[in-house]
Structures are given as C-alpha cells and as structure tokens.
Amino acid sequence: MDGEELTEQETALYDRQIRVWGADAQRRLSKSHILVSGLKGTVIEFCKNIVLAGVGSVTLIDDRVVTEELLAANFLIPHDENMYAGKSLAVLCCDSLKDFNPMVRVSVQKGDLSSFGVDFFEKFNVVVVSSCSLSTKKLVNEKCRKASKRIAFYTVDCRDSCGEIFVDLQKYLYSKKEVDEMVECLLEYSSFEEAIAIPWRSLPRRVSKLYLAMRVIERFEELESRNPGDTSIADLPDVQKLRKELCEAHSLSESMIPDALLERLLASTTEFPPVCAIIGGILGQEVIKAISGKGDPLKNFFFFDSMDGKGIIEDISIVKAEG
C-alpha cells in the first residue's frame, strides 16, 4: 500500500498483468533492481520477461564479445556481423532491451562478477547468475547473504534440452491465502554451497537425476578449470570416472546418473531455444513472485528435461535444528 500510485500510462500498459497480481505488486516491481550476469539464451528470455513486467531497473554483466555461437538462442541482437563486431554481449543486449519497455532502466556494468564486493550487490534486490563457475556461484551467493538487506539469489543453467534453476531467498516471509484466511509462511533457504554439500544419501528418495548429473559436470569443470559449458563428448570417460568417485564417496548407485544423460549434457554446446523459453519463463515468474510477495516461491531447485517434459521442483536444503 505504500508509495505513489501507478501512473495512467502504467495502468494502461500493465492492465492485463495487474489483473493477475494486483496494483500493489506492480508498484513493488517498479521499485526493484535486478542484476543479471551471463547473457545466454535462457537469461535473455528472463530479461525480456522482467523488462516487460515492469521492474525498476536491470543491470547487465557480460563482457564477452559476441560470437555466432553466443547468438544461437539470442533474439536481441540483429543477425548482422557489422552491427555487433567488437561489442560486448551486455552492450548489445542493453540497447535492444531498452526498446521493450521505456519505463525500465536498463544499463551495463563492466567487469568480472567475482571481483565485486558486498556493497555493489547491495544495490540490488535480485541477483541472477548464469554461465559461471562453481566457485563464482558460491562466492556471489555468500556476498548476497552478507548484505545488510535481503537479496534474492538465483542461478540458472541450460545444457542440451535440460535446464536447472537454483533459488536462495534466505529467510522469506510471505502471506498466502488458505481457505478463507491469510496465513503467514516462513521459508528458510540454504545457500548454494550448503545445498550441494548435502550428502546424496540424505536427498529425497527419487531426486531428479538431473540434479546429480549437473553436480558431477559442475565438479568436473571446476577440477579441469574449464569455462562453464566448455565440454564435449570426448570428456565422457573422465566424467564417468568422476561419477564413480563421487557415487562411491556418497555410497550411491552409479545408475542414478545414467550415461545417456551425461552424454547429452556434455555434448551440447549450443542451447535449445524452446528450453530457454521455458526455463527463462519459470525464472521470470519466480523473480516476480519474490519481489511482489504474491504466490508461493519455489524452494529451492527447479529442473526441466524436454525428453520427458516434466518441470520438477526439488527441495534440497539443510534442515536447521530447532531453536
């Protein structure tokens, strides 16, 4: 209820979505600031969704120079080498995103994501990272947790026709309608580091195989100092060896991480646009929920695999002792 009313222009533009989440939520959206790093197809989809939704500002980080491969699932950059030669992904995407909604400030932040301090992240309500190493994910997540106010942290990655979202809302209090009364709900999230440290034996019994496979590959890239996503089918034997080690350490059957799945995840270097749209859509919805306080946010992993078509939520968090 706080803050100024929506302008006439905002009411007209956002009419259909205000009918979904209400004017209050729309006001909160328009005051939120989002940081996004790693501009591949899924994140581009996400950016489109939140710019259309009418957040306050979006800040883009990605100094990579545009290549054909990076454009595979990118609809923001004109397909003309003369237009993009030498420019960074962030700069080119920024120009295009601004166009989607003149009421949202879109800007570029240069530099390496891991080099920024807590004070930098404190300027944002939401931080979304993609295409980055395991250590950077952990580091940025920790910095967000150290900030003086709550910053919602998300990681998102797509490989082949699969996608994964991780969510850390720390302590998240919201009210939801149950039958006829509003009930206060408190969700306690684990950090990325805490979540992935949970012994595999204590995970939910039929946990998504995708969760385990992603952890193996993530670890492999870390050990080999690869760039995120820089793998090929040639890596399969080494990855299978790592799988064996990890499964033995966790006393879990290797069959929980099938070869066929590892092959798919390793072989792909380009994204599958329909999956980018789906994962980018789910992520957009989650960020809108977290900002607006409307709706149950997902806790704390989401997986989609177009092979079986299921979009699954897994709760992989440490259970804190009472008191």
Partner 1 sequence: MVSEQQLSAIKGSKVLMVGAGGIGCELLKTLALSGFQDIHVIDMDTIEVSNLNRQFLFRQSHVGQSKAKVARDAVLKFRPNISITPYHANVKDPDFNVDFFKQFNVVLNGLDNLDARRHVNRLCLAAGVPLVESGTTGFLGQVTVHVKGRTECYECQPKPAPKTYPVCTITSTPSKFVHCIVWAKDLLFAKLFGDKNQENDLNVHSKDGSSSSKQAEDVFERHKEENLEQYGNRIYDHVFGYNTELALSNEETWRNRNKPRPIYVKDVFSSDLASQNGNLDKSSNGDPPSLSAMASLGLKNPQDLWSLKENSKVFLEALKLFFSKREKEIGNLSFDKDDQLAVEFVTAAANIRASSFGIPLHSLFEAKGIAGNIVHAVATTNAIIAGLIVIEAIKVLQHDIKNYRMTYCLEHPSRKMLLMPVEPFEPNKSCYVCSETPLDLDINTHRSKLRDIVDKIVKAKLGMNLPLIMHRSALLYEVGDDLEEDEVANYAANLEKVLSELPTPVTGGTILTVEDLQQELKCSINIKHREEFDEEKEPDGMILSGWIQPLAAEKNGKTTVDNEVSTSSASEAVPLLTEDDDDLRIIPTITGKKRKLSDVANERKNKRKAEEPNSKNDVVLLDDEKF
Query: Which residues contact partner 1 by CB under 8 A?
Result: 5, 8, 11-21, 23, 41, 45, 48-49, 52-54, 72-80, 99-102, 160-161, 267-278, 280-282, 284-285, 288, 295-296, 298, 302, 304, 306, 308-314
Q: Which is nearer to partner 1, 38 or 280 (CB)?
A: 280
Residues in the chain: 323
Q: What is the distance between the alpha carbons of residues 193 and 141, in angstroms, rounded to a whole number?
A: 8
Question: How far is C-alpha 131 from the geometric centre of its chain's CA atoms?
Answer: 10
Q: Which is nearer to partner 1, 54 or 139 (CB)?
A: 54
Q: Which is nearer to partner 1, 27 or 143 (CB)?
A: 27
Tokens of 215: 């952890």
Q: What is the distance between the alpha carbons of residues 202 and 315, in angstroms, rounded to a whole number?
A: 12
Task: Evaluate whether 107 touches 159 at the Cβ level (below 8 Å).
Answer: no
* Cα distances (angstroms) measured from residue 186 to each of 28, 33, 153, 171, 292: 20, 23, 17, 7, 16
CB of 117 to partner 1, least distance (A): 32
Q: Which is nearer to partner 1, 19 or 320 (CB)?
A: 19
Residue 76 three-state SS: coil
Q: Which is nearer to partner 1, 12 or 186 (CB)?
A: 12
Q: What is the distance between the alpha carbons of residues 87 and 65, in angstroms, rounded to a whole number?
A: 6
Report, in angstroms and rounded to the nearest whole number, the Rg of the chain calculated over CA atoms. Answer: 20
CB of 165 to partner 1, least distance (A): 11
CB of 45 to partner 1, least distance (A): 6
CB of 315 to partner 1, least distance (A): 9
Q: Which is nearer to partner 1, 16 or 320 (CB)?
A: 16
Task: Evaluate whether 220 touches 122 at the Cβ level (below 8 Å).
Answer: no
CB of 38 to partner 1, least distance (A): 18
Q: Which is nearer to partner 1, 46 or 121 (CB)?
A: 46
CB of 3 to partner 1, least distance (A): 14
Q: Which is nearer to partner 1, 144 or 187 (CB)?
A: 187
Tokens of 102: 């003149």
Residue 33 carries which DSSP code? E
- Helix or strand run (H / E) with residue 279: helix 273-292
DSSP letters along 240-277, please? HHHHHHHHHHTT--GGGS-HHHHHHHHH--S--HHHHH
CB of 145 to partner 1, least distance (A): 26
CB of 134 to partner 1, least distance (A): 23
Task: Evaluate whether 273 touches 263 at the Cβ level (below 8 Å).
Answer: no
